[in-house]
Amino acid sequence: MTVETSAFRWSDRYSVNIAELDRQHQGFLAIVHELNQALATGEGAAVTHSILQRLVEYAHTHFPAEEALMTEHKFPTLLTHCAEHDRFTRLVAKFLEDYYAGKAGVPVSLMLFLQTWLKEHILVSDKAYRSFLNARGVY
Ligand SMILES: [Fe+2]
Ligand SMILES: [Fe+2]
C-alpha cells in the first residue's frame, strides 16, 4: 500500500516568517502527519490518545506565544483570533472526552478537524498577522 507522505509536510506556504511560531507550526504539522499516516495504515485508534495529549500541549504553548505577540503589538483582530484558539482548545478537550467515553470514529473526526484547522486557521488567520508583525520587527 502506498501512503501519501507529503500531504502534511512543512513548506514555505505555511510560514508566518517568525522563527518561534514557524517551529511550533512545524510541530503541529508533524502531529497531523503522524495521525494521517496512522489512519492510512489502520493504526488511528492506537495513536489517538498520544495525539490528543500532544495537541493539548501544543495549545498550551503555541496559543499564548501568538497571543502575547499580537497583544504587545495591538494586532487589530486579536479578539477574533483568540476566540478561534479558545474554540480549538475546547474541541480538543471534547475529543479527549469522547475518546475516554469510547466513542466510535474519534480518530477520523479528529483528522478532519485538524485538516480544517490547518486550512482555515494556520493558512488564513495566522497568515494574517505575518506582514503586520514582520513590519514591527517581529521575525
Ligand atoms: Fe493562531
Ligand atoms: Fe498558529
Least confident of 8-12, 85-89, 99-103, 135-139: 8-12
pLDDT greater than 70 at residue 54: yes
pTM, full prediction = 0.94
For residue 23, how far is its CA from the centre of ligand 1 (angstroms)? Answer: 13
Distance CA 110, CA 106 (A): 6
* Dist. CA 42 → ligand 1 center (Å): 31
Q: Is residue 95 part of a domain?
A: yes
CA 110–ligand 2 middle distance (angstroms): 18
CB within 8 Å of 51: residues ≥ 6 apart: 31, 34, 35, 38, 110
**Does a structural domain hold residue 66?**
yes
pLDDT, position 2:
46
Instruction: Using alpha carbons, select from 79, 73, 64, 89 the residue that is nearest to residue 125.
Output: 79
The Cα diameter of the chain in Å comes to 50
State the pLDDT confidence band at 7, using cuts at 50, 70 and 90: confident
User: Which listed ligand is nearest to 23 at the C-alpha?
Assistant: 2
Residues with CB under 5 A from ligand 2 (ion): 126
Q: At residue 31, does pLDDT exceed 60?
A: yes
Q: Which domain range does residue 73 map to?
A: 17-134
pLDDT digits (tens, 9 = 90+) for 83-104: 999 999 999 999 999 999 999 9
How high is the pLDDT of residue 123? Answer: 97
At 82, the pLDDT band (50, 70, 90 cuts) reads very high
- Nearest-angstrom CA–CA distance, 42 and 10: 24
Dist. CA 132 → ligand 2 center (Å): 15
135 confidence band (pLDDT: 50, 70, 90): very high
7 occurs within a structural domain: no
Q: Is residue 116 a part of any domain in this protein? A: yes
Q: How many folded domains does the chain comprise? A: 1
Q: What separation in Å is there between the alpha carbon of 121 and the centre of ligand 1?
A: 6
Instruction: Report yes or no on 99 lying in a domain.
Output: yes
Task: Return d(Cα 44, Cα 38) in angstroms, integer.
Answer: 5
Query: Rounded distance, CA 19 to CA 102, Å?
Result: 39
Assigned domain for 21 exists: yes
pLDDT, the chain, mean: 95
Statement: residue 69 has pLDDT above 90? yes
Q: Average pLDDT, stretch 56-70?
A: 98
On the question of pLDDT at 1 being above 60, the answer is: no
User: Which domain CATH number covers 99?
Assistant: 1.20.120.50
